[in-house]
Amino acid sequence: MAQPLTALNTFGVEATCDNLFRFTSEQDIQDWLAGMPIAPEKFFVLGGGSNLLLLGHIPLTFLKADITGITYEKSGAQVLVTAGAGVNWHDLVLDSLEQGYSGLENLSLIPGNVGAAPIQNIGAYGVELEQLFVSLNAIDLYSGEKVVFEHKDCEFGYRDSVFKNRCKGQYLITSVTLKLNINPKLVLTYGPLKALSDNTDNLSAKKVSDEVIRIRQSKLPNPETLGNAGSFFKNPVITNHQYNQLKSDYPELVAYAVDDSHMKLAAGWLIDQCGLKGYRQGDAGVHQQQALVMVNHGNASGRELLELAAHVRDTVLERFDVQLEPEVWIIGEQDIFTQSK
Ligand SMILES: Cc1cc2nc3c(=O)[nH]c(=O)nc-3n(C[C@H](O)[C@H](O)[C@H](O)COP(=O)(O)OP(=O)(O)OC[C@H]3O[C@@H](n4cnc5c(N)ncnc54)[C@H](O)[C@@H]3O)c2cc1C
């Protein structure tokens, strides 16, 4: 019987899958895989559902690692924290700050679970997961074996890792180990946090976290009240040559240097310039304040949100000749999205 997924995705769209199995330990997963007749290509690993757009019925077996627990181990001037894949990410951030360790404060309030954090190398306010990452444990869904991935194995990039490419769909991450600082090393380089560096006398990691939470709550819609999956598109990376051409046409273009030959554009700015901020097609909308965030105003289906996303992508392409790529995972029949104009 089809299993409901509506409460398990932050867009809040109606969706179902063939089966849903939940696990509370690595052994559980290994035992289940040993007797499982379903081909691994038919699996989809679900976390907190905050980076997904689900399209109606998905003919796959969903697996969810509800593995909990957080442990700390001192290692010189640092502390290694290991958290189960099912731990809520923000709960881990708060727990580590309560223990007096710094490192995760800039990543406060990112929705989702620990197990998904390495998949797109989550990042915010000048910090990416990979800067703190040590290793992860996973189960190979093809062999049932336990595997350890160290930093070098994960091939991290901007919102990217080996788990979105070569190893897509192959592993179920069961726990993640990160390194934290005993003596705070605060990162205040990113725009809105720069103001804090004016007076660092009483500044703590907890205060930075509080500020990140305050800024995020003022800028981003809360999925509990307005369905969304955060940034729908990645910020596009273009060559310096293309950037210089665009900059001469649009002097106010918002961009950041990635390396000597590439620039990263603010996708939200491009969408905003196309007049799409606040744009709606029925209940599918572009957020009123954050053009990069697509929202479900009530009863939008996954397909309606996808149609709107395709419209946004095509409008930006036509105006700026820049191709937007989704940051969210689109799961299900996505023909309208793959056929770019
Ligand atoms: C309001 C809002 C704000 C956001 N802000 C940010 C932000 O600032 N920075 C940022 O980087 N992201 C942000 N996101 C996106 C999202 O929070 C992250 O991508 C998060 O890591 C997704 O976690 P999840 O548990 O919900 O994963 P899901 O959405 O359930 O899954 C995402 C991907 O991870 C895979 N996956 C999940 N769990 C596992 C596992 N245990 N093993 C193997 N694969 C797994 C899934 O198969 C899927 O491919 C935001 C989202 C929202 C709704």
Return the SS3 of 164: helix
pLDDT tens digits in sequence order for the chain, 341 residues long:
899 999 999 999 999 999 999 999 999 999 999 987 788 889 999 999 999 999 999 999 999 999 999 999 998 889 999 999 999 999 999 999 999 999 999 999 999 999 999 999 999 999 999 999 999 999 999 999 999 999 999 999 989 999 999 999 999 999 999 999 998 899 998 888 998 888 888 899 999 999 999 999 999 999 999 999 999 999 999 999 999 999 999 999 989 898 999 999 999 999 999 999 999 999 999 999 999 999 999 999 999 999 999 999 999 999 999 999 999 999 997 766 664 44
- Catalytic positions, written as ranges: 159, 231, 327
Name the fold adopted by 70-219. Answer: 3.30.465
Ligand 1 centroid from CA 246, angstroms: 32
Please tell me if the CB atom of residue 10 comes closer than 6 angstroms to any atom of ligand 1: yes
Ligand 1 atom at minimum distance from 120 CA: 19
Spell out the domain ranges in the chain: 3-65, 70-219, 227-338
Ligand 1 centroid from CA 217, angstroms: 18
Ligand 1 centroid from CA 117, angstroms: 6
Name the fold adopted by 227-338. Answer: 3.90.78
Please tell me if the CB atom of residue 154 comes closer than 6 angstroms to any atom of ligand 1: no
**Nearest 10 degrees: Cα torsion 210, 216, 222, 226:** 160
Please tell me if the CB atom of residue 47 comes closer than 6 angstroms to any atom of ligand 1: yes
Main-chain dihedrals φ then ψ at residue 321, nearest 5 degrees: 55, 40
Structure tokens at 328: 């969210």
Domain boundaries 3-65, corresponding CATH code: 3.30.43.10
Paired with 45 in beta bridges are 63
User: Per this entry, what is the length of the chain?
Assistant: 341
Please choose, from the candidates 273, 289, 122, 292, the residue with its C-alpha nearest in 3D space to the C-alpha of residue 219: 289
